[in-house]
Amino acid sequence: MNFELKPLNLVALANEKTDLLILLVSQDFKPGKDELSVLIAQTLKQGDFLTKAGTVLSLYRPVQANAPKVLLAGVGDGHARGVRGALAACAASLKASSVKKAIVGFAGPAHEDAVRAVPLAVAEASYVYTHTKSKPEARTLQKVLVAATNASEVKSSFDTGAATVAGVEFAKEWANRPANYATPTLLAQAAQSIAKSAKVTCEILGPKEVVKLGMGSFMAVAQGSDEPLRFIVLQYSGAPKAQPPVVLVGKGITFDSGGISIKPAAEMDEMKFDMSGAASVLGTFRTLAELKPAINVVGLIPACENLLNGKAVKPGDVVTSMSGQTIEILNTDAEGRLVLCDALTYAERFKPAAVVDIATLTGACVVALGGVRSGLFTSKPELADALYKAGEASGDLCWRLPLDDDYADGLKSNFADVANVAGRAGGAITAAKFLQRFTEKFDWAHLDIAGTAWKGGAAKGATGRPVPLLVEFLLSRVAGR
C-alpha cells in the first residue's frame, strides 16, 4: 500500500477522483461555503450524522464529490483514538474489491497524533491474511491519499505512521503464519530479508554455535523438537559505532505445546502466536530500515519450538544457563523465560544503553491487563517513563507492574540456583523477576504482550503490537528530535 499526504481542502477534495472518499468530521468542524461543507453541515443539522467516533453515513455518487462512494465518519474530538474508531467503522468499504484508491480527508486542520494514526488505521481495516489460502483474495486497496490543510506541519508524523505500517504488517504476517509455515529456520530467513536494506545486517546462529556459547537453558527448550533452533542477531546502524545500542530481545517460540507439562487442547492452536515478540522485533527493524533514524539498535531472537519427544526436557531437570546460573525446570511450559535468559546474557556483549525484551510470556498478564495494555516491568524510572510515554503517544498502550524483590521468593529451588516457576499468584511478576536475574549488567525493561499480541475468537489474528510502541520509543531517543 502506498500512502501520500497532500495539503487539500474540501474544495480541492471535491474534484479529486477516487474510488472511495472518507471525510473525517470532528466535533470542531467549521463548515465553509463549499458544497461538501454545506452537505456535511446539513447532515449534522438534520441529525442524520453525528461527529461521535464510530458514526458513519455513507453516500452513493453524491454530486458534491468525484467518487462513487463517500463516507462521512465522525471522529469525536479529532484525536487518534477517534480516528481509529472511525476508520474501523469504514472497514467494509476499505476492503471492497472495487476500491483501489481511497482518500481520507480531514474536514479542517488535523492533529499530529490523528495524522499518524490514519495510515495505521487504514492498514488495520483493510488487512487480509492470504499466505496459506488456496485462492487468496488479496487486499485491493493500493493507494491512500491523506488530505489535511496543514499537511506541511504534520508531515513527519505522517511519515512515521506510514513507515510504522510496514513494520506492523511484517509483524502481523509472521505472527499469523501457522507454525509449519513459520519455523525457526523460516523466521531466520525473514530476518535476513530485512537485512537486504542498507544499515541493517543479520547473523544467524544454529545449534552448533549455541552450544559453543553455552546457552544451556535455550537449548533445553529446543531439544524436544526435531526442528533446529535459530538464534537471530539483527543490527541496525543509524548512528556512529561508538553510540551504545538499544537491544530488543523477542521471544521466538514458533509453537508452544507446553512440552512435557503439556497444555490443554482448547485453543492450543493460538500458541503459534508465541513468537509475536520476535515478530515485533522483526517489524520494528522493518520500520527502522525505512525511517533510517540516527540510532543504533540490536535485535536478538531466540527461536525454537516447545514440543515433546523422547529427548524433551523433563520437569525437575536442571540446566545451566549461559550466565552460569543453574535452573531447575519445574514446569516445561514456562519456556519463554528459559530462552530469553540466555538471549539477555548474550546482550551483554553489546554494552547496551538499554535492553527491552518483548514476550508473550504469561497467561497471568492476560488476566491482569486483558487485551488493552501490555505489561511493563522495569526498575529504572527513566525507562519506565519513556516506554509508558511511547505507548501513550502511539496508542499502543502499556502499564507498569511492580518488581519488588519479595515477589522472587517463590523462585527458590532446593536443587539449582533458581526455579523457572513460582506459585500461581502474581505469575506475570514472578516471570519478570526470573528474567531480572539475568539483567544485572544493563538497564532493562520487559514487555509482557501475552494479552495484546493477538486477538482470539472470530477476529483471530495478530495485532502487530507492540511495533508502534517500540518505534516511538526508539525515535524518542534520537537526539534533537
Cβ 265 to ligand BES, closest distance in Å?
14
When asked if residue 76 is in the footprint of Zn ion (CB under 5 A), the reply is no
- What string marks each residue from 291 to 330 as x (binds Zn ion by CB under 5 A) or -? ----------------------------------------
When asked if residue 256 is in the footprint of Zn ion (CB under 5 A), the reply is yes
When asked if residue 362 is in the footprint of ligand BES (CB under 6 A), the reply is yes
When asked if residue 256 is in the footprint of Mn ion (CB under 5 A), the reply is yes
Stretch that binds ligand BES, among 10-18, 119-127, 283-291, 363-371 (CB under 6 A): 363-371
Q: Which residue is nearest to Zn ion (CB)?
A: 256
474 binds, among Zn ion, ligand BES, Mn ion, none (CB under 5 to 8 A by kind): none
> Cell 553510540, residue?
243
Question: How deeply is 32 buried, as exposed, middle or buried, from its count of CB atoms within 10 A (0-12, 13-18, 19+)?
Answer: middle
Compare residues 287 and 332 and give the one whose CB is closer to Mn ion.
Answer: 332
Q: Are strands 20-25 and 69-74 parallel, antiparallel or unpaired?
A: parallel
450 binds, among Mn ion, ligand BES, Zn ion, none (CB under 5 to 8 A by kind): ligand BES
When asked if residue 363 is in the footprint of ligand BES (CB under 6 A), the reply is yes
Sequence letter at residue 353 = A
What is the rounded CA–CA span in Å between residue 294 and residue 475?
Answer: 9
When asked if residue 360 is in the footprint of ligand BES (CB under 6 A), the reply is yes
Cβ 295 to Zn ion, closest distance in Å?
30
Is residue 9 within 8 A of residue 105, CB to CB? The reply is no
Is residue 247 within 8 A of residue 347, CB to CB? The reply is yes
| DSSP letters for 43-69 | HHHHTS---STT-EEEEES-TTSSSSE
Compare residues 20 and 366 and give the one whose CB is closer to ligand BES.
Answer: 366
Q: Which residue is nearest to Mn ion (CB)?
A: 333
Is residue 232 within 8 A of residue 321, CB to CB? The reply is no
342 binds, among Zn ion, ligand BES, Mn ion, none (CB under 5 to 8 A by kind): none
Listed in sequence order, the residues at least 6 apart from 470 whose beta carbon sits closer than 8 Å to its beta carbon are 248, 280, 281, 284, 356, 358, 390
What is the rounded CA–CA span in Å between residue 348 and residue 80?
Answer: 38
Stretch that binds Zn ion, among 223-231, 270-278, 350-358, 378-386 (CB under 5 A): 270-278
Q: What would you report as the CA-atom Rg of the chain, rounded to the nearest whole angstrom?
A: 24
Tell me which residue of 18, 12, 82 sits closest to 50, measured CA to CA.
82
363 binds, among ligand BES, Zn ion, Mn ion, none (CB under 5 to 8 A by kind): ligand BES
Return the residue of 27, 156, 331, 413 that touches ligand BES, per CB under 6 A: 331
Q: Could you tell me how many helices (H) and strands (E) the chain has, helices first? A: 15, 20
Cβ 335 to Zn ion, closest distance in Å?
6
In the beta sheet, which residues pair with residue 146? 5, 104
Is residue 468 within 8 A of residue 285, CB to CB? The reply is no
Stretch that binds ligand BES, among 71-79, 148-156, 359-367, 406-414 (CB under 6 A): 359-367
Is residue 303 within 8 A of residue 278, CB to CB? The reply is yes
Catalytic residues, which ones? 263, 337
Return the residue of 113, 305, 333, 396 that touches Mn ion, per CB under 5 A: 333
Cis peptide before 228 (omega within 30 of 0): no
CA distances from 215 to 154, 162, 326, 341, 463 (A): 47, 38, 11, 9, 31
Number of residues that bind Mn ion (CB under 5 A): 3
Phi, psi of 159 (to 5 degrees): -60, -40
Compare residues 297 and 368 and give the one whose CB is closer to ligand BES.
Answer: 368
Q: Name residues contacting ligand BES, limited to 262-301 (CB under 6 A).
A: 274
Return the residue of 113, 169, 274, 328 that touches Zn ion, per CB under 5 A: 274
Rule CB under 6 A: which residues touch ligand BES?
256, 274, 331, 333-336, 360-364, 366, 421, 427, 450
Rule CB under 5 A: which residues touch Zn ion?
253, 256, 274, 336
